[in-house]
Amino acid sequence: MNKQQVTFTKKDIQNRFNISLATVNNWIKTGVIPSPKDGYYTNEIYSELISTIETDTEKLQSRANRSYRTSSDVIFLGIKDKNRKELLIKLIEKFEDSNLSMMEATVCLGKQILINNNLYNENSEIYVKLNTIYSDTNIFQNFYIENKNDDILGAFYQSIQSIANKSKEGMFYTPCELLSNINIPINTKVLDPCCGSGSILINTLSTEHNPDNIFAFDIDEIALLICHINLILFFNKDSISPHIEKRNLIFPEHADLFSLEDEKYDFIITNPPWGSKLTKNQKDFLLHHYAFLDTTEVFSIALYNSLNKLSNNGTLYFFLPESILNVSTHKSIRNFLLNTHRNIEIFPLGNAFKGVQSECILLKLSEVTKEENRIIVEKDKRYTLNIKNISPPHYLISYTVCEIDDIILNKIYSAKSIKLPENTKFALGIVTGNNKKYIHEERGENEEPIFRGKDILPYRLKQPQTFIKFTPEIFQQVAPVLLYRTQKIVYKFISDKIVCALDDGSLVLNSANIIISKDYPMEILVCLYNSPIYTFIYQKKFKSKKVLKQHFQDFPLPVLNSTLIRDFKEIYAGIMIHDKTQKDADKVICDYFSISESEYNYLKEYINGNT
């Protein structure tokens, strides 16, 4: 048999994945694939390495295979000019055809940008630094890269990293349009403690600022190098000496940020990591070292450490997920913020970060005040929150509550009411571990209906559309069986409205959860929870997409008497036979909480426009 028919070369790998020979050599160099013996791979080894490469999507997306990489992998940051985008793509392709590491390529590109803009002086600190790291041939020497202060170097670095790595480290670019209204005063000592490539600084500083008063910290050495280059480009001087240092904002090391007790800053601005993946040891350390915060969430710890470095007259800006305001696990950092004696401003930004599903906010804290601190929200309009409504144990900051909302909520919460009895039971729907295997659209032998969240309507369940053979011992998670088999309230778990129905004995999947109340009539709870009044409370106070046990436990319930019990039960029965509607229940609720007709119409309009 001909040797060419049973063996393969590096060229075959190159053709198979439409990549450069340099990339194949780099994969061999870094151990991704083995080196060919005498220039050839056997059929068995070739098949194995092809399978390895095809299943390693990170390698295919982060390296040279243009046919595998989607356009979303190129991070343009604030670059909008078509020619500039094309230049960035060419720079990335040049890197992909090389054998350079990310650091080496970043050094080469940084050098070229400085050379092109006459900022590469042999006597400068940056010249020495770059040549110490890498001094061989510059792969970008034939490119001309004009300085447009658009962080093209940062865009290059982010683009050549894998998406998985950015997610792991919680690294996401801050769009420059989010910075347009932030101006750093000229005579201030400025810190970005999670500076990345420095894009926040170059979009908020003035060229009149003294570079000696600029401090930029990060744990990513490549990002710090880019930040230094970007600041040189911004000030158009290669002789500047901003304080750019590798420091860890979260985990203490020698001379790290929070260990320098006397170090204070007039202006702190950053976008800290969100959702960084931590090891168990790291989590254990944070829970021990920051026991008073009771969290392993990096952004909360970053905020705490940064606030301790802010001068009394200073200003702090932090980009944060909205959850810091309304999720109970962040109650300790909220309590800390409320006790800083600084005014708080909240700027809702929605889904402003590409690749991040969470809505976000810009949080501003200003100088220490001797008066009672205020919380101000600014979006379409500017309004002040009633700080008295922020109370233990969760210290929820309901930032969507404007003046009229506050009036309505105060009426509801100040009326005579009770909470759900302590013996109320809550349960999760069934987690099968493999819905494709266990859930069927056609009813099989020994199978019964099982209802999902989307099968729940106000007061009713849809006709069954899915079926299951109930074998709880093989499922991943099942509540005590009796909780499914008794009368109960079932409600949608993922929802921007409260939607529930009374049920007898049906099974539910984990997109639907359960409430069982013995001491407060469940028919009345269903009338209350399906009301737009309770959805209004849910949306305004918690602003959540997940209906949680803590929400139901917070809701104020009317103190029942014989008249209310009779009225609600008659309404419930009437709704079930289509003789009455939710509006009949709403009238009783409004009368109890003294909600006027205009207030009721307002909240209904809000709910209808928000769902």
- pLDDT tens digit string along 132-171? 999 999 999 999 999 999 999 999 998 888 544 554 454 5
Closest CA to 299 of 333, 340, 268, 253: 333
Mean pLDDT of 515-531: 98
Gap between the Cα atoms of 291 and 282, Å rounded: 13
And the tokens for 118? Answer: 């006459």
Q: Is the pLDDT of residue 107 over 90?
A: yes
- Crossing angle of the two packed helices 597-610 and 403-414, in degrees rounded to 10: 110
Q: Considering the chain, what percentage of its residues have pLDDT values greater than 90?
A: 68
Residue 142's Cβ-count burial label (10 Å; 0-12, 13-18, 19+) is exposed
Decide if 557 contacts 420 (C-beta within 8 A): yes
And the tokens for 416? Answer: 């005579």
The one-character DSSP state at 196 is: T
End-to-end CA distance of the chain: 69
Q: Are strands 375-378 and 512-516 parallel, antiparallel or unpaired?
A: unpaired
Question: Taking the alpha carbons of 581, 583, 585, 587 in that order, is the dihedral positive or negative?
Answer: negative
Q: Are strands 382-384 and 467-468 parallel, antiparallel or unpaired?
A: unpaired
Q: What does the pLDDT read at residue 162?
A: 56
Number of Cβ within a 10 Å radius of residue 354:
12
**434-451 burial: b if 16+ Cβ within 10 Å, else e:** ebeebbeeeeeeebebbb
Distance of CA 414 to the CA centre of its chain: 35
Between 468 and 28, whose confidence is greater? 468
Three-class secondary structure of residue 64 per DSSP: coil
Q: What does the pLDDT read at residue 583?
A: 97
Decide if 111 contacts 230 (C-beta within 8 A): no
Closest CA to 545 of 611, 449, 447: 611
What is the side-by-side strand order in the sheet with 487-492? Answer: 425-427, 512-516, 487-492, 500-504
And the tokens for 512? Answer: 């639907």
Three-class secondary structure of residue 58 per DSSP: helix
User: Would the pTM of this model clear 0.85, i.e. be above it?
Assistant: no
Q: Is the pLDDT of residue 5 over 90?
A: no
What is the side-by-side strand order in the sheet with 507-508? Answer: 467-468, 448-451, 507-508
Per-residue pLDDT reduced to its tens digit, 458-490 = 999 999 999 999 999 999 999 999 999 999 999
- Crossing angle of the two packed helices 562-576 and 582-593, in degrees rounded to 10: 160
Closest CA to 87 of 147, 20, 8: 147
Q: What is the DSSP code string of 252-271?
A: --TT-GGG-TT--EEEEEE-
Gap between the Cα atoms of 529 and 424, Å rounded: 15
Decide if 365 contacts 265 (C-beta within 8 A): no
Mean pLDDT of 233-239: 96
What is the average pLDDT score of the chain? 89
Three-class secondary structure of residue 280 per DSSP: helix
Gap between the Cα atoms of 406 and 404, Å rounded: 5
Q: Is the pLDDT of residue 256 over 60?
A: no
CB-based contacts of 330, cutoff 8 Å, min separation 6: 295, 297, 300, 323, 324
Q: What does the pLDDT read at residue 164?
A: 43
Backbone φ and ψ of 157, nearest 5°: -65, -45
And the tokens for 306? Answer: 């940064």
Number of Cβ within a 10 Å radius of residue 312:
11
Q: Is the pLDDT of residue 595 over 60?
A: yes
CA angle 4, 10, 12 (to 5 degrees): 60
Gap between the Cα atoms of 146 and 143, Å rounded: 10
And the tokens for 149? Answer: 């202060």
**212-222 burial: b if 16+ Cβ within 10 Å, else e:** ebbbbbbbbeb
Mean pLDDT of 270-292: 88
Q: Is the pLDDT of residue 78 over 70?
A: yes
Instruction: Identify the band that residue 29 occupies on the pLDDT scale cut at 50, 70 and 90.
Output: low
Cα dihedral value 131, 137, 140, 144, nearest 10: 80
Backbone φ and ψ of 105, nearest 5°: -65, -40
Q: Is the pLDDT of residue 66 over 50?
A: no
Say which residue the tokens 């041939």 belong to.
137
**Whole-Å CA distances, 1 to 36, 37, 48, 456:** 20, 19, 22, 67
Gap between the Cα atoms of 589 and 596, Å rounded: 11
**53-68 burial: b if 16+ Cβ within 10 Å, else e:** beeeeebbbbbbbeeb
Q: What does the pLDDT read at residue 6?
A: 57
Distance of CA 276 to the CA centre of its chain: 10
**271-299 burial: b if 16+ Cβ within 10 Å, else e:** bbbbbbebeeeeeebbeeebeebebbbbb
And the tokens for 478? Answer: 């099942």
CB-based contacts of 313, cutoff 8 Å, min separation 6: 266, 367, 368
Q: What does the pLDDT read at residue 134?
A: 93
Between 433 and 167, whose confidence is greater? 433
Between 356 and 604, whose confidence is greater? 604
